[in-house]
Structure 1
């Protein structure tokens, strides 16, 4: 007669008032460095088992427990992840919200840490309702703030002041609650990236090279952007990329960059050149274009010096025109003055002649009058 198989009883050391303490891979969360006592070890998840349910074959969890293991792995995989893009020098809020209010701060531990970094990883710590700066990284001193009026509502978001390129990390928020044992009740990951739009590119050229009669140079400049940009020169006639020199990138005090790039190409009729500045994080492409039209069928590439020559020629023509005009005005003024003077002399002579003639007439009249009077006297 085959003996009856009896399922082994659970180890009483794993029982705790109807709860079996099982070490579940993926469920145990390592606590932050510096936690004391039993909290410094990996937490053991206690999972309730149905009455009468014992462990499965040796080295395996109960059959009805397999689904729970899968669920715990899934929960761990879907930890909240948020991506934030900020401008250098701005203040940024790292979000961490636990959607259950009515929390007792005296039973909570809140840690903000840099993920996947062991040395100097603590960004901010709240221990049982008090800020703990003993293990805070010096880089974050006086730059982090929690919203105290929202903590009991489950809002553990962190305000990070004056962000710079050294703050680009993945941050982890861990919220633990201590009752009978310390339990991780919420965690969130926030990826912080910095970005700023570049200014509209300024394209200059073509400038004919002194050491070559067939080669010209273009330059392109832009600034006030972040991170370092990609610079592309494009031949718009066939949309092909043109090889250029290594761009000169300058870092400014405010954390932004400026870029300067040059392109040397063989001069040709109907050139169409584009300079493009790419910001990968913002997915922005700013461009400036140069287009040279062919003036005639046998015309060659326009010399880059011709605009300057034309400008100087126009200035010379303008100056000469002004001088000629002033000369004409002076000559006309002199002619008018001379004509006026001649008229005045003629008028004076005429007036004198008339005056003399008038005087003679008066004298003759007077003589005649005197003669007549005398004759009258003699006759009387």
Structure 2
């Protein structure tokens, strides 16, 4: 029994699809259920969620946000709301590094138990942007660049000021007295 379980886990892991995206992107999570079947239940799970809530939950033909983890509410939708040809792929919007994890798509069809269809290992990388808008929509900027440029401008102004004073003083010096030899 132990060997079968390990073999099954290895097969699931090897069949897992790896997706890497940048923070802020929208990412499709593909899942193909049985074609021409009456899908009665769709569950998108993430194995490391600390709650029993789902990434996305659909019973019948209606998504149900009350079973959805709060961090995913309003950010997950079916790619094809009519689920034509068994396509139960979803789009996860505005991903962030907290969305990194293993996602599982499980489907139930009328008269059968839930079946694992697809496993996705999602890795969200920090976009590395230091400008643009943050996750709350507020502007953010290159603080280090601004401070550095300000320092350069102040230093350049100080050099110009010192040079102006030096020239002015040099022009107002009395001529040198003649040397006595």
TM-score by length of 2: 0.61
Q: CA deviation at 1:73?
A: 5.3
CA distance change for structure 1 residues 146 and 315 in 2, over 3 Å: closer, same or farther?
A: same
Q: Secondary structure in 1 aligned to 2:67?
A: coil
Is the CA contact 1:165–1:194 (under 8 Å) kept in the aligned structure 2? yes
Is the CA contact 2:80–2:89 (under 8 Å) kept in the aligned structure 1? no
Q: Secondary structure in 2 aligned to 1:170?
A: strand
User: 2:77, 2:157 → 1: CA distance?
Assistant: 63
Q: How many matched pairs?
A: 155
1:78 lines up with 2:18 in the alignment: no
Residue by residue, what CA displacement relative to the aligned partner does 1:327-373 show, whole Å, maximum 9, x if unpaired?
xxxxxxxxxxxxxxxxxxxxxxxxxxxxxxxxxxxxxxxxxxxxxxx
Q: CA deviation at 1:316?
A: 3.5
Q: How does 1:257-336 map to 2 (within 5 A)?
A: 311-312=159-160, 315-316=163-164
Q: CA deviation at 1:309?
A: 10
1:132 lines up with 2:64 in the alignment: yes
1:186 lines up with 2:120 in the alignment: no
Task: Name which of 37, 41, 44 aligns with 1:112.
Answer: 44
User: 1:252, 1:90 → 2: CA distance?
Assistant: 12
TM-score by length of 1: 0.33
Is the CA contact 1:168–1:193 (under 8 Å) kept in the aligned structure 2? yes
User: 1:309, 1:140 → 2: CA distance?
Assistant: 52
Larger radius of gyration: 1
Name the structure 2 match of 1:102.
36
Is the CA contact 2:42–2:57 (under 8 Å) kept in the aligned structure 1? yes
Residue by residue, what CA displacement relative to the aligned partner does 1:34-85 show, whole Å, maximum 9, x if unpaired?
xxxxxxxxxxxxxxxxxxxxxxxxxxxxxxxxxxx85x75444222323333
Name the structure 2 match of 1:88.
23
What RMSD, in angstroms, separates the aligned Cα atoms of the two structures?
A: 4.1
CA distance change for structure 1 residues 74 and 151 in 2, over 3 Å: closer, same or farther?
A: farther
5+ residue gaps, structure 2: 145-154, 172-181
Is the CA contact 1:111–1:124 (under 8 Å) kept in the aligned structure 2? yes
Is the CA contact 2:102–2:119 (under 8 Å) kept in the aligned structure 1? no
Name the structure 2 match of 1:346.
none
Q: How does 1:184-263 map to 2 (within 5 A)?
A: 184=115, 186-198=117-129, 223-224=130-131, 253=136
5+ residue gaps, structure 1: 1-24, 27-68, 199-222, 226-250, 261-306, 324-380
Is the CA contact 1:114–1:121 (under 8 Å) kept in the aligned structure 2? no
User: 2:17, 2:143 → 1: CA distance?
Assistant: 31
Q: CA deviation at 1:94?
A: 1.9
Name the structure 1 match of 2:104.
172
User: 1:170, 1:196 → 2: CA distance?
Assistant: 20
Higher RCO (CA-CA < 8 Å; seq separation 6+): 2
User: 2:156, 2:20 → 1: CA distance?
Assistant: 46
CA distance change for structure 1 residues 309 and 254 in 2, over 3 Å: closer, same or farther?
A: closer
User: 2:23, 2:157 → 1: CA distance?
Assistant: 45
Is the CA contact 2:16–2:118 (under 8 Å) kept in the aligned structure 1? no
